[in-house]
Amino acid sequence: MRDFNGIFMRFGIYNMRNISTWLSILVEFSLLWPCIMSMYFLNIPTQETKLGNRVRVKRGWIWEPLYVTEEQEVKKPMYVGQLKTDSGGHDVSIRYVLFGDGAGTIFVMNEYTGKISVLKKLDREEKPFYTLRAQALNRVTGVPVEAESEFVIKVLDINDNEPKFINEPYIAEVSEMSPKGMYVTQVIAIDKDDPANGNNARLVYSILQGQPQFSIEIKSGIIRVASQIDRETKDQYQVIVQAKDMIGDAGALSTTTTVIINVLDVNDNAPKFPQKTYEMSIIESAIVGEIVGTVLAYDIDIGKNAEITYSMDERGDYNMFNISTDRLTQEGIITLNKLVDFESRNRRYNIQVRAENTNKPELFDMATIRIYVVDVDEPPVFLERKYFMEIPENVPVGSYVGSVTAKDPDNINTIIRYDILHNKLSKLFEIDPNNGSIFTVKSLDREVDLWHNITLTATEAKSPAYVSHVCVYIQVMDVNDNPPQLQNLPDLYVCEKSRIGQTVYTVTAVDKDEPETSHPFSFTQPPEESIIANFTITDNEDNTATILTAQEGYSSQDNPLYYLTVIISDNGSPSLSSTSTLTIKVCDCGIDNNTESCGKGGYFLNFMNSGVIIAISVFILLILVLALLVHVRCQKNHNIMSEKGEDLKENIVKYDDEGGGEEDTEAFDITGLRHHTVMRERKPKRTIRTDIQSMYRLSLGLGPDVAIFKEFLSEKLEEANTDKSVLPLDYLHCYAFEGTGSPAGSLSSLSFTETSVSEIDTFY
């Protein structure tokens, strides 16, 4: 029905204004519709048959260039171009169909004419072209009348994008004093517009800020040094660079970026003193090394280029002071090198100080420093910083050692008082407070203390607060007062089979005195021993002497010990000597005739063989006899004591249990306490109370005691009372029946009635 509407439109049906006529035509058309359709479809096979009998002429697409300019505002479909077949545009039987990118949403095609329209604004930077496909179909059958064709709609570029710098931020460095044309850095910008479409994406660079120090190449964006730059004037530049498209033509778009250029320091500046002359002062009592003052020079360079080293020109009074460099603060520290004295003529000193660049000594500056000495009230000063004195040992008490002198530097007529700071060693000396003379107060011995160190003080008589100190070192000189002595002398042995002239031992002597005055020593024998001698002494003249045998063989039986007298003399003035007696033991040295085995028991066996063993045997026998006598007597006393109280002392005394009251006493068998091996006679009884009861039991009212236990206690009490050979206090060893407790709360407490106590007292 839609196809016929087109036919009606061609014939001007729509121009009919008479509605009735229009309605009649519609009725007639409806009646004729079946016939028309049958004729139409019957005609199709005839055409196909004709096509089969003859070659069909190929039809093609007729193209137009298809372009869309980007960023165009589209309020209604905007015509782009047309696609049609070469069969002509009036064939109403052909229907055009569009496929591909944006078909139906961005682009539409008129199915009758093949005209293509765009529906919305496009952006080339988002999509530069669209690929679509078109197809021509038979409107009735839907059979393609043309092969499917692919085409492209290009989006034309306009200059709608400004350049953009990449790799931001830009930070560069350049050394000061760099020559013109020195490369600094490069900036790069990009433009999203189409570089192939005119000059939309062609950029040029320029500097908006940063001239005349820097310049930029128009096309590459390379920044170079344009004029000499000085870091001390400005150490950082912010160069603003502009990038513009369309080669800067009218309507061009642009953007800017900032390039931070840091200027690197070059060591091109010398240190400078703020002033050419400095004035300082120092008190006359200052010690060596004390700080006088500081100076500071400035170098406008930075880092290592600004490091300064201070020195002193060898002019003027340079030797009185030193100067050093503080690396942290870059100050020159002036210190005192020698002591100054206000009372001397030099009360002002001039020095020349040099401040030079550490890395470039040719860059320097000079300054003059005037140093004034300030007077102060000073304590006395000793004429020497320390004193050394000597005194012989063993000098009499009160001997003069030496003297010290101190003066007041402010007034030479000031009276000075001297004293000793006493310590353990200074008690050996005393000093005259008026003239500083030192004397001994005790005897000195070099062998005990070689040096004595004392500290003296000097004080102004009018100003005791001002005190100065000095050390005095007193050396005790040696006097030959110690005779030589033998050193480290072991046990000496001589073999029985020794021959004349054999070495027995080499002795060594020492002397507490100094070697220079007492060595070497001489070794001799007394004249009486040298005539008839068993041994001889040979002086080796090196403070040693060798003992030699003087006879053929020695007998341990006849004479096991020999004594040798040695006289040792030194070469002092006067000479001192000592006499030592050596004991030489005779030893059976065995086959090898070696004395090494003598100290391991050989001599002891020989000594035993000489009769000492008999004496030891007699002594041991006497000890055994004495021990036997003591044993016999002790045994006799033991039998007597055991007969009297064996049952009680060996059995009852071991009973240390508190007991369990009635149950305990009833369970206890008294017969086990008796010693059946000892027979004793019954002694006559003495009238005593046999009804002794525990006071604790009576207090508790526990009933009568066991009869057999009461009988046992009574018997023991009777034996103790009638035994005349025992001391009266023996009754304290008697026992009473304990029961379950006692008034005293402890074991073995006795409870007596008044009657029993009185009877015992009467008996004794």
Q: Which class is 164-264 in CATH? A: mainly beta
Assess whether pLDDT exceeds 80 at residue 394.
Answer: yes
Q: What is the pLDDT of residues 185-242, one digit of tens each?
A: 999 999 988 887 778 889 999 999 999 999 999 999 999 999 999 999 999 999 999 9
Task: Give me the pLDDT at residue 57, please.
Answer: 38
Residue 625 vs residue 570, higher pLDDT: 625
3-state secondary structure (DSSP) of residue 488: coil
Residue written as tokens 């055994």?
624
Residue 762 or 461, more confident: 461
Cβ-count burial 386-407 (b if 16+ within 10 Å, e if not) = ebebebebebeeeeebebbebe
What burial letters (b/e) apply to 194-220, b meaning 16+ CB within 10 Å?
beeeebbbbbbbbbeebeebbbbeeee
Best-predicted range by mean pLDDT (364-373, 553-562, 657-666, 677-686): 364-373
Looking at residue 164, what is its pLDDT? 94
The yes-or-no answer to whether 61-156 and 381-477 have a common fold is yes
What sign has the CA pseudo-torsion 135, 140, 143, 145? negative
H or E segment and range at residue 208:
strand 204-209
CATH class of 381-477: mainly beta
Higher per-residue pLDDT: 543 or 709: 543
| Per-residue pLDDT, 174 | 95
pLDDT value at residue 757: 40
Tell me what pLDDT residue 582 has: 85
247 or 357, which is more confident: 357
**Exposed, middle or buried: residue 91 (CB in 10 Å: 0-12, 13-18, 19+)?**
middle
Mean local confidence (pLDDT), 151-173: 91
Ranges of each domain in the chain: 2-53, 61-156, 164-264, 277-374, 381-477, 495-600, 639-763
Q: Compute CA distances 725 → 312, 704, 764, whole Å.
A: 116, 35, 13
Highest-scoring range by mean pLDDT, 131-140, 395-404, 573-582, 597-606: 395-404
Instruction: Report residue 700's pLDDT band, with 50, 70 and 90 as the boundaries.
Output: very low
CA distance 155 to 102: 13
Residues recorded for the chain: 764
The string of DSSP codes covering 711-760 is: HHHHHHHHHHHH-TTS-GGGGGG-----TT--TTSSSS-----HHHHHHH
Given this model, what pLDDT does residue 530 score? 67
Name the residue with higher pLDDT: 140 or 403.
403
pLDDT tens, position by position, 715-730: 777 777 777 665 554 4
- Superfamily of domain 277-374 in the CATH hierarchy: Cadherins (2.60.40.60)
C-alpha–C-alpha distance, residues 38 and 33, integer Å: 9
Residue 742 and residue 757 in contact, taking contact as beta carbons nearer than 8 Å = no
3-state secondary structure of 519: coil
**Chain segment 441-484, per-residue pLDDT in tens:** 988 888 888 898 999 999 988 878 888 999 999 999 888 777 88
Residue 702 has pLDDT above 70, yes or no: no
CATH code given to domain 495-600:
2.60.40.60
How far is the C-alpha of 267 from the C-alpha of 274, rounded, in Å?
A: 20
Q: Give the model's pLDDT for residue 638.
A: 61
The pLDDT value recorded for residue 751 is: 44
With a cut of 90, say whether residue 278 has pLDDT above it.
yes
Q: What number is the average pLDDT over the span 258-284?
A: 94
How high is the pLDDT of residue 344?
Answer: 77
Note the pLDDT tens digit of each residue in 609-657.
555 667 888 889 889 888 888 888 887 766 655 555 444 444 444 445 4
What is the reported pLDDT for 752? 41
CA 115 distance to own-chain centroid: 89
32 pLDDT higher than 50 = no
| Domain covering 61-156 assigned CATH 2.170.190.11 in the classification | no
Nearest to 196 by CA among 253, 151, 155, 164: 155
Phi and psi (nearest 5°) for 675?
-95, 110
For residue 594, pLDDT over 50 is answered with yes
**pLDDT reported for residue 301:** 92
